Chains A and B, each alone.
Chain A
Amino acid sequence: GQQVMQIPQYQHVQEGEDFTTYCNSSTTLSNIQWYKQRPGGHPVFLIQLVKSGEVKKQKRLTFQFGEAKKNSSLHITATQTTDVGTYFCAPTTSGTYKYIFGTGTRLKVLA
């Protein structure tokens, strides 16, 4: 079955440093979605990527979908303490509603 790995599992950065998390799938994806979960909270939808090679930006966040549609990345420029949380990717495979989340990357930002 489909497997989705995210790396790294944990990342501690100094405030102001950049951060990147990568999501890798064993199969070709239709779409990929990214979520953020604050400690104690529920996942919040951030963005959906659909096209091969697509790049989308949300302020300091840059999302990228690989050319082969098997991987994706989330990059945060100049992290802030408000960026703390766990970032999950969640791919969509055509023809199924079985929606699986990646393993997540937990980000800590040190002030």
Chain B
Amino acid sequence: DGGITQSPKYLFRKEGQNVTLSCEQNLNHDAMYWYRQDPGQGLRLIYYSQIVNDFQKGDIAEGYSVSREKKESFPLTVTSAQKNPTAFYLCASSIGATPGHFGDGTRLSIL
């Protein structure tokens, strides 16, 4: 059963700590995306990757970092430089430039 798996579902971060959100897909999709969603708001693009070993900044990349060492995996690190990290984080993938599949998301909160 193909899909996108995001983990963990809930994550808590202490002040000054980096945390990494996992996103794995077994759909054989080339492109992967990370979005941030604040309560009652839309989706804002953090980073996207068209192919392995390549990724581009989205509209709100500051305070975040990513890697794309494998086609299946696109982890997102929320660094301590991101001063307001509390949000719902969504990972998506696509064959072309149209994300058709989303993971269930990770809810990140600050302790």
Contact = CB atoms under 8 A, between A and B. Distances in A.
Contact of B48 (A33, A45, A99, A102): A99
Interface string B76-101: 00000000000000101010011111
Contacts of B33: 99
B25 interface: no
B97 A92 contact: yes
B42 interface: yes
Interface residues of B, number: 26
Interface in A16-67: 31, 33, 41-45, 48
B99 A99 contact: yes
Interface string A96-107: 111111111010
Nearest to B101: A45
